[in-house]
Structure 1
C-alpha cells in the first residue's frame, strides 16, 4: 500500500510486453476502473484509486498496452457481469443487456452520438436502483473509460476508427517498411495467409485477405504493424 502504481507495473510486474506503450492499469476487478498511464504516480490505496474513478477491490490489476481498446474492455466486463448477475432486479438484469447491445453496436461501427448519453443514463439508473453491490458497481468500468478515454468513444462513432486495432470493423493493418526487419514472427500467426515476405526481408500485408484480427499487431516486437482506418467503412445507422 502507498507504492505508486507505476512502480508496481514497471518494477514488480516487469513492464509492458513486446516493447509496447503503457496505456492504463485496470484495478479492482470487473467492477473496478482504469487508471491512465499519465496518472500512474498515484499511490496504491483505497482513497487514491477512488479519486481516479477506479477501485482497489481485491488488489488485482491488469496492465494494458496500446493494443487495448477501451470500449472493447468495457464491453468485456459488461458481458462478464451479465453472466454473474442473478437477474433478480430489473435495473441490473435489463440494464446490462442494454449496455451490451449499445457497446457492441459502437464497436461494430454502427454507433451514434446519442448512444453515449444512453449509456450514461443506464449506468446512473443502475447505481441508484440495483438491489446489490454487483449491480450498483457494474457501470464503474464504463464510467471510468468515459472519464479517461472519452476521445476513443468519439473516434469510434464519428470517425469509424479503433486506434488500438481491436475492433475489426473499424481498423485495417499495414507494415511500416522502415521498422520491419523480417523476423517472420507474424507470418505463421496469420490464419488468412495475408502476410508475406522472406525471412530477413521486409514483409507486406495483402489487405484483400486480411480480416483485421490483430494477431500480427500483438506479436510484433518491432512496432512495425501500423493501425489504419478500415479500407471500406460500413454504413452508419440513421
Structure 2
C-alpha cells in the first residue's frame, strides 16, 4: 500500500436523500435542544416552587382560621361568663330582697301569733290543775325509759294524795312529799338524773319567749 486513496465512483445501496444538514446547522440544532431541556427543567422547578408556596399558603390559611376560631370561642366564652355572673348577681340580689321581704312579713305575723298564743296559754296554764300537768310530764318521762328502773317523784304535801292517785298504778314509781316544793312544782329522780318541774317558771319562760328573746330570758332559759 502506498497510502493513496482511490477516487470513489459509486457506492452500493440506495442513493441518499435530498436533505443535507450542514455542520453549522447541526450545531445550532443541538444548541436549541439544550435550551429547550434547560427551559423544561426551569419550568419544573418553578412548578415545584409554586406547589410548595401553595401548600405553605394553605397551611397559613388554616392556622389563621384556627386562631380566629379560638379567639372567637374565647371571646364568646368570656362574654358568656360575664352574662352568667350578671345573672347570678341579679338572682342573688332578688333572693336577698325576697328573703328580707319574707322575714319582715314573718316577723309581723309571728308577733301577732305570739300575742294570740300568749293570750290563750297564760290563762290555761295559770288556772289548770297542776297535779294533772305534773303527772302528765312524769308519765312521759316514765314511758321514755325502757330500762324498767325505779323512779321517785316528789311533790308538795298538799298534792301528795292526788299525785299517788294519778301515778300510783305504776309499780316503778314511788311518790313522796317534799315540803320545799310549791303546789305547782315537782321533782323527778332516777339513778341517772334529776328533773325538776316548775309550772310557774315554765309559764314565765314560755310567755317571755313568745314576747321575743331578751337577755333576761336567755339567761333564765337554763336546763333544770
- What interval of TM-score do these two structures reach, taking the shorter chain for normalisation? under 0.3
Q: Taking structure 2 as the reference length, what is the TM-score of the superposition?
A: 0.20
The structure, 1 or 2, with the larger RCO (C-alpha pairs under 8 Å, 6+ apart) is 1
Higher helix proportion:
2
Query: Highest CA radius of gyration, 1 or 2?
Result: 2
Please report the TM-score for the alignment, with normalisation by the length of structure 1.
0.19
